[in-house]
Structure 1
Amino acid sequence: MAMQNQSNKVLSAALVETADRYWLRLCEVWPEATTELSKVQQQELMSVFALSDYIAEQLCRRPEWIVQLFDGLLDDIDRSQFDSELHVQLADVTQEEQAKSVLRRYRNLQMVRLAWRDFLNYTPVEESLLDLSSLAEALVIAGRDWVYQDMCKQFGTPTSAEGKPQPLLILGMGKLGGRELNFSSDIDLIFTFPEHGETVGGRRAQANQQFFIKMGQRLVNILDQVTVDGFVFRVDMRLRPYGESGPLVVSFSGLEDYYQEQGRDWERYAMVKARVLGPWSGYCDELHDLLRPFVYRRYIDFSAIESLRKMKQLIAQEVRRRQLTDNIKLGAGGIREVEFVVQSFQLIRGGREPALRQQSLFGAIDTLYSLGQLEYLAVDELKHSYILLRRVENLLQAIDDKQTQTLPNNDLDWQRLCVPLELNDETQLREQIHHAMATIHGHFNATVGGSDNHEYNDHWSSLVWNIQQDEDALALLQEQQIEDEALWPMLSDWRQTVSKRSIGPRGRETLDKLMPKLLEELFNQSTPSLAFKPVSNVLDKILTRTTYLELLCENPGARQQLVSLCCASPWIARELANFPMLLDELIDPSQLYDITSIDDYPSELRQYLLRVPEDDMEQQMEALRQFKLSQQLKIAAADVTGVLPVMQVSDHLTFLAEAIIEQVVLQAWHQVSERHGVPEGTSPSNMGFAVIGYGKLGGLELGYGSDLDLVFLHGHSGAGSTNGPRSIDNSHFYLKLAQRIVHLFATRTTSGELYEVDMRLRPSGASGLLVSEIEQFGQYQLTEAWTWEHQALVRARFVFGDYTLAGRFSDLRGQILQQARNQTDLAKAVRDMRIKMRDHLLHVEPGQFDLKQSAGGIADIEFIAQYLVLAYAHQHQELTIWSDNVRIFEVLADLELLPVMHAQHLTQTYCWLRDENHELTLQQLPGKLPHHTVEQKTDAVIEIYNEILQP
């Protein structure tokens, strides 16, 4: 075999030692290695052993592959063979486990072959990426065809109304669609089929969509599941319409409706690289024609530029939030930015220029040059820089078949990169990478405009920051008519403290640029010293994180918002100090105050989670917390500035919590089902499980920092067990699910706890089961529950889960609340509970009023509503409809069970007390006011309370 392409670099001692270790292992399992391989072959084998743990591990497990590799497999690759060989190997396979084994072994052999060719320079990286993409495509299509045939034997063939057999089409997204797959990449897929209809030839007809959803589930499992032979590819299906909450497979018409009505900007980007995998057919043309109008507008689409800017911010934000360093994909000037530059031109001009409608980045960039959209120098620089980064990425991943884009943190792996790249050491390679990323970042900024980073003409504020003498500083401040004696001592002390901190030369330089700009903003405040304190607390937390100092330096909007929000609310100031990643939200004030609409929290959260690898639980948990923090900040910013009426604050906080509950339950389901399978007939869209919200969540009245009162129910009574490898009985499955949900909420990550969850309202309280079967829950409520538990049920509502259970819960709740009760006994029980609660929870100084627990406060008003519902619901079913107090009082007034004036006063006082509580929370003050400021409102509440509940 020709060896001229290989590096002649002598291996270091560390690499030789690694190779020797693997050689000894190989000789143990294949003693003939020394006699069956020539010296040249042994030398080549030692080289790849030194450079890749993945190759070495695979070949020590399967030494027979070594002979195959040297017998011609290492020669040039005929990509069409992947598909034909796989179909031959699967032709006689009848069992799914056997099919999994065939696919995994073929994948591993071919990946060893491709990694070997890559490390020893048999092929340029562009060819290597094509080889990897062709292999992945062949594996996916072979798996699809095998599953399709197997299912058609079982259920019949899915057929259109006209009798045409219907295939499953698979859209390859991202780098698979662009034929530029990494060595150890996830593959993003979307499944679809042409027409609805039903199966023909099976024992009973089944709807096409149902057939294809089952088929899709099996195909994902065949590719994604880890067995003794590893996996074929990690499969990510979250780019499909509606993400994880949407069906796994939709028809062409379903796809078209979704993208016409709901498609987002980021989905347009994703669709640029979408390509139907496998042999081409008329259906493939139809599908691409259907998607084209969504991706490519008929005109030159300059409206894309604004969304490009937002996506550019998202990239920088992701790097900051995940604190990524040395990341050649997501860092400034990384692989993502090259894709961004090219795709931005494609989206803007692809409607007019059919030649730009292609998935390949290399093809698209050449077309941009031929159309005069990019200069030769730009194309040349972008290509060379991109190729270097892709080469490094591929080698990085082929070291151990790991999905990483972060440069090594150990010397051995740096050597493994330097050998195939024919460089001397880490320093030389780092220089090349640094130069490539700087070049890319320059073109990236030029594409959509760089940051607003003009030199700041700040003479006097710069002097204030740099001045050493107290007298000079005071004179300068006086000259600028800043009459705030407390400011200079605070600023001077803080500067001295900062000078002792170790923040590095880049951080120090950025701080010196930032402070004059920030001081200018502070001097615009009526009392700058009051503003300086909370702002300096935020700065204290980011001094060692230069990217955040740069963010404030480069974004006037962010500086302005930081100062104004810190002045408006100490709570917001504390959030920003504790979680600096929230500074990203301040960059664009129009975005900050454009809060998510009530109905959009679930879809916004799904989009947010798409940025995080599905199988990285730590990052998923962190992302949930970051989403909650950033959305809460937007709600609070809109609240303190009066953009959002206070009555709507609780609605937003409640719907935000519901969206998070949905994702936590889905993640918990995914984790538990992966290990144990699921109860028969259940799926993520039909779990047989429900989350019930009580208290403030149930009453749509969450505040900042509220905990969640939850009760979990399931609908599986009797025997039955899960269908997974470690099968457990159904009730045990739901218990594990509940435990996992509570764990996901309570785990503390760098962004804190998600929510504090209180489960004490479940049947039998803290001593009861974490999850109840719904009929048993109903029985407990009817026969064993205390009056206070029925009071709590007034404020309960279905929050997430199975809609069949939602209906049953609603029926049970109505039935329990509508029980006839002796009003005297009921009034005594409610009154006794209120006294007990006040004795336990009310701690207030004389002359002070606790908004929640003092007589005439929030709790009294809630107890009035609960008593009246329990007293009269047996006569008036309408009282069981609502779980929030405002609407309960409306119904009571309509039914004339409460005088209209009383109902209005209770409602107004209740809303006023809650508003005050919100305000105090945002000022980080306890929920108490001087008694004389509230008595006019609360005295009337006490009168109504006594009139209704006193004997």
Structure 2
Amino acid sequence: MNAEQLQKTLRASQYAEQVLGLHQILLEQDYAIDQFQTSLATTQIQQLVQTELQDVQDENQWMRTLRILRARLMFRWIWQDANVLTDVVTLTRELSDFADASINAAKDFARVALLAKHGEPISYSGQVQDLIVVAMGKLGAQELNLSSDIDLIFAFDEQGETNGRKCIDVQQFCIAWGQKIIYLLEHMTAEGFVFRVDMRLRPWGDGSALAISHAALEKYLSQHGREWERYAWIKARIVSGGKSGDDLLDMTRPFVFRKYVDYTAFAAMREMKAMIEREVARRNIEDDIKLGAGGIREVEFIVQVFQLIYGGSKLELQDRQCLVSLKHLGEVGLLDDQAVIDLEDAYLFLRRVEHAIQALNDQQTQSLPSESEPRQRMIDTLGFASWDDFLVFLNAKREKVIYQFEHLIKEKGLESPNQSFSQLEQQLDEILDEHAKNLVHEFWYGHAIKKLPAKAVQRLKEFWPHLIQTILESNKPQTALVRLMPLVESVMRRTVYLVMLIESKGALQRLVKMATVSPWICEELTHYPVLLDEFLSMDFELPKRQDLEDSLRQQLLRIEIDQVEDQMRVLRLFKKSNVLTVAASDVLAESPLMRVSDALTDIAEVSVMASLNLAYQITAKKHGYPLDAEGQRCSLDHTAFAVIGYGKVGGIELGYGSDLDLVFIHYMDEQADTDGLKPISGFEFAMRVAQKLMSLMTTQTLDGRVYEIDTRLRPSGEAGLLVTSLKAFEQYQLKNAWLWEHQAIVRARSIAGESSLREKFEQLRRLILTLPRDENYVREEVLKMRQKMKDHLGSSKEQKKDGIFHLKQDAGGIVDIEFMAQYAVLAWSGTNPDLAHYSDNVRILEDAAKAHCLSSDDASALIHAYLSERAESHRLALANHNMQVSAAEWFDTREVVCKLWQRLIDPTAVFAVDSE
């Protein structure tokens, strides 16, 4: 043993003297002293803990063994620190590795007795549940100091029950599990303790349940999570819990790191720092090298505030460790090189001082000692000639931190508009009519403002000039103002949105431009302000199908199957936020019409697929699974159920306000009972799945509804069953269906459900459409149906005289083109089966040209007219206008359509707009 190093160790720490006195024989073993020159790898520490505790089954002996090991390791770490045989990063990592290993050992030991008493915790979906241990604070960042508490949160994946002789629910099991872990680690025995455990960072803090489900944690963070909790969760790390733990941590990332540049973090950080300063002053702890000015916490604040602001867009800033993130801040240009050097140097020295303080008596404190004897021990350890020399050096480091904090955080202000408030108000007043002026006056002097907290009023007053300046720069300032006022009123209490709009001029400009184009978008944002989160962060690219599926699956994955309200909320916000993205891309990026329709249709299909999956699970959980028509057990992978989309969703031509025309088919044994505790027939099972799907999508809630659904195109219409077997559907279509029902099948397409059943439907669809038909009969029936629609839905004679053209229903409109495409399939696919392949009008017309049923010129003319009219219909929908437009402006397009209608369908038709 190196006597000089031993003497320095004992000088640095009275605690080390105690350990040596109690465990001298153990400390003289080879591994304890001779290897002090080297660091311990994570696996070595894990193996050391496992070896020491191997075969220990008695609880008291287990606790004694781990505490003795902790004392030996603490002696080792103090030795290394006092003799500068390690560095701060290595030491804090080893301490954290030991904490991880101790937690996992305690978790494994505690589980044995719980299993014997209660059995395994099983979720309602049949999965064995594990306890997820989340490390927070210094342990989460693997920056544990010599005498740190460990901050933990306990969670589990899903609710359920144990399967033992004394059954309890999963949450109770996990609470008991967590309580035992805490006892094993922090209970004070003759040998001391292992770690003090702090659970106060869990949702709702002290007094709340010790363990929380994934779904409950997600709900808490989304609805109640506070700004300081975002700071705390930056350092969160899964110590134990496997994939369930990883999924839980992934869920928290959007709460911590916002997708947009989140300038609100500055204000939150300033408030937190002010609170800490008040506490420091109150407790007279200016010499606290963690909480005092220029201390460790201030370095962490500088790093963390930038992480919260930019971490959503700069993923490298999401690292838990302070020094790693500090380095990244320099690399991405958010801090200059000298600032990074100064902060890193100060942080490392402050952490070394922290260790010197805590090594004295193994106490959790960061305050400089006031007595001469411990002061002398400290400066001997740190290598200073006197306490005054040490303070000069320490204060120089702290001053550099204070300087960076003052300049980078406290002085971060909001950009002022180019003009004064009064100038902007005067310019605005000059262009507003009386209605708009009254609107502004009522807003500022109304009851809503008077009820606002002072802080919210101040934030609103900061925002107002930015809004007015941006509105004045737009091409329709009055329109923008009138449409945005309700939105401002709806979000003025949620000032986070106002700050984001102040700080992001681009986002505010986009919002104003959207307001000038689309009142519908403004209304959506006003009614559902949560959509602003998406709007402010969107890149205005159309969403991709795979991304939509992944996003919705992840959102629904952790909601318990019986939490229907939460499922409906996710479905509604998924649909609304993604349709908003499409609308923004349509307006601001001028995306092509067909790509817009594709995206809108994808959103609908993904919503239907998810709703069907939920509906099937909910029904199966209650009643068990049915048999299919061939006697095989249905399951989630073999549902024997499919959803058929008709009309716009079937034709991949969905618009912004479109409802969904759906038909449900199944391939189940309608007579056989399900295999659950409450069995029902296969027929009733299929009915309940369809009804539950309808309920999930159409129930009106505070978040609106997902879609309106129309099921009248099912066999026998409203008089028919909601769900039809594939066989019954086939018989009806081949023996009883009217021609207009086959016409509807032209635009039918399977959009959700089991792939084999969907393929069976597609084969049946092609069979029906390629049946031989008399062309004259088809023409007569199509013409009759078209005339009925014109009579009921087209413009009145008075409207036509006034020069009104209904873009969809009048002659030469969208429906004429759709009917011509459907006529082509019904009349000609018997001899040209390729015409029955697609369900969308554009590709049907293209295929008609390829088959030489239409000339290329005629097909191109119809497609051009169709896309022009549909593009205008989208624009009208965004502007909240109906489909009535000026007939004169559409004369040329209508003439092309009507002439082709005359040649294909009705030779007697005469196109004369004025005489209609």
Query: TM-score with structure 1 length normalisation?
Result: 0.58
Name the aligned partner's letter for residue 673 of structure 1. Answer: A
Deviation readout 1:773-827 (Å, 9 max, x if unpaired): 1111111111111111100101001111111101110111111111111222222
CA drift at 1:621 = 1.1
Residue 570 of structure 1: aligned partner? 519
SS of the residue 1:690 aligns to? strand
Residue 832 of structure 1: aligned partner? 784
CA drift at 1:749 = 1.9
2:414 paired with 1:455: yes
Residues 508, 227 of structure 1: alpha-carbon distance in 2 compared, 3 angstrom cutoff: farther
Residue 18 of structure 1: aligned partner? none
Name the aligned partner's letter for residue 506 of structure 1. Answer: K
Deviation readout 1:50-73 (Å, 9 max, x if unpaired): xxxxxxxxxxxxxxxxxxxxxxxx
Residue 618 of structure 1: aligned partner? 565
Residue 550 of structure 2: aligned partner? 603
Residue 71 of structure 2: aligned partner? none
1:889 aligned residue (845, 868, 881) = 845
SS of the residue 1:870 aligns to? helix
2:576 paired with 1:629: yes
SS of the residue 1:592 aligns to? coil
2:455 paired with 1:496: no
Measure the CA separation in 1 of the matches of 2:898 and 2:555. 47
Residues 559, 773 of structure 1: alpha-carbon distance in 2 compared, 3 angstrom cutoff: same
CA drift at 1:306 = 12
Deviation readout 1:598-637 (Å, 9 max, x if unpaired): 4421112223445756653212211211121111111111
CA drift at 1:76 = 7.5
1:584 aligned residue (533, 548, 563) = 533
Residue 895 of structure 2: aligned partner? 939
Name the aligned partner's letter for residue 156 of structure 2. Answer: D
Measure the CA separation in 2 of the matches of 1:944 and 1:225. 76
Name the aligned partner's letter for residue 642 of structure 1. Answer: A
Residues 139, 576 of structure 1: alpha-carbon distance in 2 compared, 3 angstrom cutoff: same
Measure the CA separation in 2 of the matches of 1:80 and 1:704. 68
Residues 595, 776 of structure 1: alpha-carbon distance in 2 compared, 3 angstrom cutoff: same
In the alignment, structure 2 segments of 5+ residues that lack a partner are 1-58, 66-98, 141-149, 175-211, 216-232, 269-303, 329-342, 359-400, 628-632, 908-916
Residues 562, 375 of structure 1: alpha-carbon distance in 2 compared, 3 angstrom cutoff: farther
Residue 669 of structure 2: aligned partner? 717
CA drift at 1:314 = 9.8
Contact 2:135 2:237 survives alignment (8 Å): no
Residue 904 of structure 1: aligned partner? 860
Contact 2:484 2:515 survives alignment (8 Å): yes
Matches within 5 A, 1:254-293: 273=238, 275=240
2:811 paired with 1:849: no
Instruction: Give the number of equivalent residue pairs.
Output: 630
Matches within 5 A, 1:460-539: 460-463=419-422, 474=426, 491-497=440-446, 501-539=450-488
Residues 499, 722 of structure 1: alpha-carbon distance in 2 compared, 3 angstrom cutoff: closer
C-alpha RMSD of matched pairs (Å):
5.2
Matches within 5 A, 1:123-202: 135=110, 175=134, 185-187=155-157
Measure the CA separation in 1 of the matches of 2:471 and 2:481. 7
Name the aligned partner's letter for residue 701 of structure 1. Answer: E
CA drift at 1:462 = 2.7
Measure the CA separation in 2 of the matches of 1:497 and 1:866. 57
Contact 2:665 2:725 survives alignment (8 Å): yes
Residue 646 of structure 1: aligned partner? 593
CA drift at 1:371 = 12
1:791 aligned residue (743, 753, 761) = 743
Q: Which stretch of structure 1 is more off in the superposition, 846-855 or 591-600?
A: 591-600
Measure the CA separation in 1 of the matches of 2:689 and 2:875. 37
CA drift at 1:719 = 3.4
1:684 aligned residue (616, 629, 636) = 636
Matches within 5 A, 1:849-888: 849-888=805-844
Name the aligned partner's letter for residue 809 of structure 2. Answer: Q
Measure the CA separation in 1 of the matches of 2:417 and 2:901. 62
Residues 652, 616 of structure 1: alpha-carbon distance in 2 compared, 3 angstrom cutoff: same
Deviation readout 1:197-225 (Å, 9 max, x if unpaired): xxxxxxxxxxxxxxxxxxxxxxx987599
2:619 aligned residue (659, 669, 672) = 672
Structure of higher CA gyration radius: 2
2:729 paired with 1:777: yes
Contact 1:774 1:809 survives alignment (8 Å): yes
Measure the CA separation in 1 of the matches of 2:783 and 2:165. 59
Query: TM-score with structure 2 length normalisation?
Result: 0.60
Contact 2:479 2:515 survives alignment (8 Å): no
Measure the CA separation in 1 of the matches of 2:555 and 2:563. 14
Name the aligned partner's letter for residue 739 of structure 2. Answer: T
2:605 paired with 1:658: yes
2:720 paired with 1:755: no
Residues 514, 142 of structure 1: alpha-carbon distance in 2 compared, 3 angstrom cutoff: same
CA drift at 1:850 = 0.7
2:664 paired with 1:699: no
Percent identity between matched residues is: 30
Measure the CA separation in 2 of the matches of 1:689 and 1:558. 44
Contact 2:647 2:661 survives alignment (8 Å): yes
Measure the CA separation in 2 of the matches of 1:342 and 1:641. 30
Contact 2:134 2:239 survives alignment (8 Å): no
Measure the CA separation in 2 of the matches of 1:782 and 1:884. 23
Residue 319 of structure 2: aligned partner? 344
Measure the CA separation in 1 of the matches of 2:411 and 2:720. 59
Measure the CA separation in 1 of the matches of 2:727 and 2:349. 68
SS of the residue 1:810 aligns to? helix
SS of the residue 1:749 aligns to? coil
Residues 373, 771 of structure 1: alpha-carbon distance in 2 compared, 3 angstrom cutoff: farther
Residue 109 of structure 1: aligned partner? none
Contact 2:694 2:709 survives alignment (8 Å): yes
Matches within 5 A, 1:9-158: 135=110
Residue 696 of structure 2: aligned partner? 744
Residues 342, 314 of structure 1: alpha-carbon distance in 2 compared, 3 angstrom cutoff: closer
Contact 1:453 1:554 survives alignment (8 Å): no
Measure the CA separation in 1 of the matches of 2:165 and 2:765. 44
Contact 1:713 1:774 survives alignment (8 Å): yes
SS of the residue 1:670 aligns to? helix
Name the aligned partner's letter for residue 939 of structure 1. Answer: E
CA drift at 1:311 = 5.8
Contact 1:510 1:553 survives alignment (8 Å): no
